[in-house]
Amino acid sequence: MKHMIQKRLGLLVLISTLSGSVGATLAASQPNILWITSEDNSPYLGCYGDPLAETPHLDRLAAEGVRYRNAFANTPVCSSARTTLITGMYACSLGAHNHRSNVEIPDQFKLYPEHLRQAGYYCSNNSKTDYNLASKRNVWNESSNKAHYRNRTPGQPFFAVFNFTSSHESQVAPKGDKSGFRVSPDKVPLPPYHPDTPEIRQDWANYYDQMTLLDQQVGKVLGELEVDGLVDSTIVFYYGDHGGALPRGKRNIHDSGTRVPLIIRFPPNWAHLAPRAPGEWVDDLVSFVDLPATVLSLCDIPIPSNYEGQPFLGPRRASPRKHVFLFRGRMDERYDTVRAVRDRDFRYVRNYSPHRPWGQHYSYPFQVLPSMRSWYAEFVAGRCNTAQASYWKSKPAEEFYVIATDPFEIRNRIEAPDHREQIARLRLALRNQILATCDAGFIPEGMASQFAVTNTIFNYARSEAYPLERILDVADKASEGNPVNLPSLIVAMEDPHPVIRYWGVSGCLILKDKAGSAKQALHELLGDPWADVRVVAAESIVRLGGKDPALKTIARVLESGNLHEVIAAQNALDFLCHDGLVTLAEARALLRGSRLPEPGNRIPEYLHSRTAIP
């Protein structure tokens, strides 16, 4: 018996030794990866040239690493950006582009931590997830506010995420007991789209304080890496999850909402993977969808065929991008379909909901940001200049900006004759990108949830049931707001496919009173089988003077539609009330019968700017 015990102990020691040896060999052949992420911030850092920033730890990281001048979140809100990151695919390709949605994806699509774990990595996430995915897979070894690479097996390589919320929108406004700011509010240079008010200046000043706090938190994580003796074996990434938290940052597809800081430090053992020497800039375009593929490349792990990003580092490094693809869907409780492409010099934007302003009344930022409320008050009072007022008005169908001469993107050059070639090139690039990814964002959300009952939206969008090229043709004509397109829009309203009918009727809504000759066709669509079509037809009819039947249609959707159909109906009613076409009393009466979002479905309860139920 004693001999058998000794033999088993010897075997266990041998197994332990071999395991440690394998772990050490793996750790030596593959780098550790540390991701440090911050929320809602553009490159407001000293190392990016911001003179007001006090960010010594990030500045030091930049001096020891490389800075990317052209890094972009694909979408300007956290959940859609993080969905793109965790899947390695554009969220709109999966139909998961709408903020705080719950979308099923094909079972065979593994999220990037699953691939890393399969290759032997310990994967920890501290601690935000916020993915627009219905299936909550256990993809991390540990995901909590206590998650840490220190909990791995000794010698095991790690991939670790530390996410900080100090710069999040919810932290922008100074708290009631705050007595001073590091940067005096009157010293903050405001962007030209912001009016000069005390509230806006205070939010900006406090934001810089929060960035300094964030820098201190980053310094703590980097210090732990030094204490643990892991600096020489760890590639460190730092980036923001999308653009800045102040109004016209987050939720907006311009640089202020999508361009982010990205710093990567390569230790000496892995210096051969660096694209430039320490302290230098990298001008290559980087897109969030590229980050998972890049990590797998750095770790010498095969990149899954379904991943839509291209690695910009490592042995599988691809050629630099010519442009990045950007998208926007529902933000909070407001719908707005926008697509864009950005190269190093220009941005081209296609607004598929030009009848809705950039600055819709999102309940959450209006609650937490004095700057948002102040800006809107200035607009209502008529004290905004053209650049400031445009945020609250309907949008052009297309936008084109020359970044070098217009970094704040306030001068739309879409009609500029000297840029016709660049506009045509980017317009075609955007169309090709939409088609190549089988972009599911042209399906109204209420409709999409029903298409997905027997399949995923991803698979539906790649089937013959989704004629995207025809849909895109109608959506392009609809968004132009040109009366010459009305006959073709009326034809589209009679199409057997509900998505084509939706974009045909949306074109009438965008035309408003110029769609008079479509009135009969619009009335027929009040009986359409699909609520998303009925809601748009109803709003259009009210704008043409046919209130009673249209409001009854909206009322029925409010009472019995699915969650997203109800939100679409609430939006229609709110804009009709805002424009004086429905009285406050009428709107409140209809809303009292509305099916409000159920608790726990992750979509904020709809709050109306003027029609809140008392």
pLDDT in tens, 269-308: 999 999 999 999 999 999 999 999 999 999 999 999 999 9
What average pLDDT score do residues 397-408 get? 98
26 vs 489: CA distance, rounded Å? 60
Q: Identify the pLDDT of residue 18.
A: 36
- SS3 call for 327: strand
Q: Per mean pLDDT, which range of 110-114, 175-179, 226-230, 589-593 is the poorest? A: 589-593
74: enclosing H helix or E strand: none
What average pLDDT score do residues 346-373 get? 95
Q: Per mean pLDDT, which range of 126-140, 258-272, 514-528, 531-545 is the poorest? A: 126-140
Nearest CA to 159 out of 112, 121, 115 is that of: 121
Q: Where are the domains of the chain?
A: 1-27, 28-175+212-325, 467-592
Whether residue 572 has pLDDT greater than 90: yes
Amino acid identity of residue 191, one-letter, is P
Q: State yes or no: is 78 an active-site residue.
A: yes
- Which residues 6+ apart lie within 8 Å of 343 measured at CB? 285, 322, 323, 324, 426
pLDDT in tens, 545-566: 999 999 999 999 999 999 999 9
The CATH number that domain 467-592 falls under is: 1.25.10.10
Three-state secondary structure readout of 337-395: CEEEEECCCEEEEEECCCCCCCCCCCHHHHHHCHHHHHHHHHHHCCCCCHHHHHHHCCC
Of 47, 78, 123, 438, catalytic:
78
User: In this structure, are residues 80 and 132 in contact, taking their beta carbons and an 8 Å threshold?
Assistant: yes
List helix spans (H) across 283-342: 290-298
Q: Identify the pLDDT of residue 597.
A: 55
340 vs 365: CA distance, rounded Å? 24
Q: Identify the pLDDT of residue 478.
A: 98
- The single-letter DSSP state of residue 315 is T
pLDDT in tens, 10-69: 433 333 333 333 344 445 679 999 999 999 999 999 999 999 999 999 999 999 999 999
CATH topology (fold) of 28-175+212-325:
Alkaline Phosphatase, subunit A (3.40.720)
CA angle, residues 439, 428, 418, in degrees to nearest 5: 140
